[in-house]
Amino acid sequence: MALVTTNPTINEGPLFAEVDMGSDFNAPTVRATVVQASTIFYDTPATLDKAERLLAEAASYGSQLVVFPEAFVGGYPRGSAFGLSIGNRTAKGREEFRKYHSAAIDVPGPEVDRLAAMAGKYKVHLVMGVIERDGYTLYCTVLFFDSQGHYLGKHRKIMPTALERVIWGFGDGSTIPVFETPVGKIGAAICWENRMPLLRTAMYAKGVEIYCAPTADSRDVWQASMTHIALEGGCFVLSANQFCRRKDYPPPPEYVFAGTEEDLTPDSVVCAGGSVIISPSGAVLAGPNYDGEALISADLDLGEIARAKFDFDVVGHYSRPEVLSLIVKDHPTNPVTFTSTSTKIEDKTK
């Protein structure tokens, strides 16, 4: 596979040079890009403008699939405590949530329409991390779009981590999709969901080939999880994380990094990225990048999937369903269901 050279800066010249893809004529090659860039916090229109600039640049180099980080639209509220302690909430924390709720997007909604139009305009398959607003509950969500500008569907994070559980709702089994597209079967799990073996198994059973892992985890140990998933699932893993400095968030007192604010300068790195692309054999194709905002790209030889599955097919020849099995409850779990009976009224005049 050919590796596309990356560059850690976004605004200074080309991000990577074009290379000969060198593909096997018997298997398609897909050029994929993971975006490592920060949200413009509390400014969703500006964030969408930034997303379009990045998408256009990736498309100009031939990318067919572009994956953005967790919560890119709406923002990952790193360091914010929302005024919470056990048994107590503050007025300032409630106001922080109001502003965060205002920055989220409805699905469907005008921002989804714009993202779909962007995917169609630049002829790329788009995987975008957003904060979804459903009434007054928020969800950490991934949206999927095809290269014709169609919204395909979404995945809601089923298990937020730690304080995330206070500000985000829990997804259910109805949004664990794997979409069959011209560039492969695409699915996503968000951040520490990727450490949930049963969720991964459900995705493998749906045939995921390009496993997207938008995240907020920039630790070195994250790379071990990504490599393991690629080997376990016999799939390509595309992990996209934000690269953020303190100045990418509003200044104090509007926004405070609880417990660390006094140690931060405007240029302090608060999320170091680590975005990466890994092959089904466990080879690192691009990244991890810890240097700054970047477009990180690689050419995916889809023939590698069959080569890897020859060794290990976790839901195929390496499974033991008579010993181990999984039941996935993939129906929506609505808190309120209304049942109505309509009576057909015959038109007597006919």
In eight-state DSSP terms, residue 70 is: T
Which of 102, 172, 152, 173 is closest to 131 using CA atoms? 102
Phi and psi (nearest 5°) for 103?
-80, -15
Reduced to 3 states, what is the DSSP secondary structure of residue 116?
helix
Beta carbons of 47 and 290 less than 8 angstroms apart: no
Reduced to 3 states, what is the DSSP secondary structure of residue 193?
helix
Beta carbons of 233 and 206 less than 8 angstroms apart: no
Name the active-site residue from 12, 18, 70, 304. Answer: 70
Phi and psi (nearest 5°) for 238?
-120, 105
Whole-number Å distance between alpha carbons of 191 and 203: 15
* All residues at 6 or more sequence positions from 151 whose CB lies less than 8 Å from its CB, including other chains: 108, 112, 115, 116, 143, 144, 145
Category of 22 on φ-ψ map: left (φ > 0), alpha (ψ -120 to 50) or beta: left
Return the biggest CA–CA distance within the chain. Answer: 80
Alpha-carbon 255 to chain mean position: 24
Active-site residue flag, 70: yes
Whole-number Å distance between alpha carbons of 298 and 32: 6
Q: Give bridge partners of residue 81 from the DSSP assignment.
A: none
Whole-number Å distance between alpha carbons of 170 and 192: 13
Any idea which residues carry the catalytic annotation? 70
